[in-house]
Structures are given as C-alpha cells and as structure tokens.
Amino acid sequence: MSATEELIVEEKGVICTLRFNRPEKRNLLTPGMLLEIESTLKRLGDERKVRCVVITGTGDKAFSSGYDISAIGDDDMIRNHEGDNPLPLAARAIEQFPYPVIAMMNGHAFGAGLEIAATCDIRVLAEGSLLGMPPAKLGVVYSYRGVKKFLNLIGPGFTKELFLVGKAISSERAAQMGLVNFLVPAKELGSFSYGLAEEISENAPLSLKALKE
C-alpha cells in the first residue's frame, strides 16, 4: 500500500483501490488527486496485474463533493473544455484503463465527483446518499465533454433534469434514472462492491479488455 496526503492507493492481488482521502473536506478533488489517478491508472495498465479498480472515498459522508473551487486556476475553464485539465485527464485514464473500474460511492457525490463516478464502468451507491450537478447554481458553464457522459448514461431527459434544475437527488431517484447500477445499504457497500470486483476479476482478461474497449 502506498499513500499520499490526498489519495490512498492500495493493491491487493488483482484488485486495486483508489481512495479519496480528504474526509474533512468531504473528499473535494484537487488537481494533484486527479493527476495521481491518471498516473496510477496508466502504471497499472502498463503492469497488467490488476484486473479491477475500485474508486471510493474516505469516511461515510461523501464519495466526493466535487472539485475544490479554491484550487481552480484562471484558465481552468478553457483547459477543461479543451480536455487539458486534471479532471478530463483523470476521466480519460478511467475510460482507457483496460479493465473495469467500479465507483464504490460511500456517500454524497456532486459536480466533478459525480462525473468521475459516471465515468466508471459500474456504480454502487450507499442508500441515503445525495447526488447532484450544481453548475447552474454556481454560475459555472460545464464542459460538453462532461455533460455528454450523462447523456450517454441516462439519456437527455434525465440529464436535463440533473443539470438544469441543479437540485440534489436522492439515492432512490438516482437508481430510477439509471445513474447507478446498484443501491445497497451503507453497511453492505464494501462487501458488495468487493464481491463484485472479485467476480469481475475471475473473468477472462482478454474478454474483459475487448468488452470494455
């Protein structure tokens, strides 16, 4: 296991966990965390040992409440649209990782945190969590790259509801939308998610790679 102040990387056999480690800030994402996600996934892909990655947050309050606004640079909005910012770079690394990535959503997820979850291949959500995309309430123009993920995942109607209303939705509503694959009691989140990761890891590696691609 290796750890930094903001991200914990733990490899156990063929399963690797990436854990956002800012519980005092409800796991707000920083550029450093996102860039480390990118570099870690590239390394794991090159090593070809890990067959499934689980992304989660520290604590029981939040998966991630979004991007740390205090860390946003002057040109970040432009760079985000161009795909040259830590958020799209991390998201692209999740998409390009050759094996499945599970979002083990241990609590609330908003903004960039929810986008990271939406980028993962499978989402498991703890009951009682709230999810939301609040850019319209914050006066932020969200990138089309980010919006498109939700269009592909839940369709235009639910995407419009999520972004144009900007209101947090319940875990039950998220499941109805198809925003998450599984909704489980919080106390069962870990056992369910890692059981799923183990089941995935037992499948044929070449088939997993081909199917994900």
pLDDT digits (tens, 9 = 90+) for 180-204: 999 999 999 999 999 999 999 999 9
pTM of the model: 0.93
Does 43 map to a domain? yes
Nearest Cα to Cα of residue 29 among 66, 56, 70: 66
Residue 80 falls inside a structural domain: yes
**Residues 47, 78: contact at Cβ < 8 Å?**
no
CATH of residue 178's domain is 3.90.226.10
Residue 149 lies in a domain: no
Q: Is residue 161 one of the residues assigned to a domain?
A: no
Q: What is the pLDDT of residues 63-112, one digit of tens each?
A: 999 998 776 655 555 555 555 789 999 999 999 999 999 999 999 999 99
How buried is residue 103: exposed, middle or buried, by Cβ count under 10 Å (0-12/13-18/19+)?
buried
What pLDDT is stored for residue 82 in this prediction? 56
The answer to the question of residue 121 being in a domain is: yes
For 122-149, write each residue's pLDDT tens digit. 999 999 999 999 999 988 889 899 999 9
HSE-CB for 95 with a 13 A CA cutoff: 13
Provide the domain limits for residue 113.
2-130+171-212
pLDDT of residue 76: 55
Tell me, yes or no, whether 136 lies in a domain: no
Number of structural domains (the chain) is: 1
> Could you tell me if residue 113 is inside a domain?
yes
**DSSP3 helix / strand / coil % (the chain, rounded to 5):** 50, 20, 30
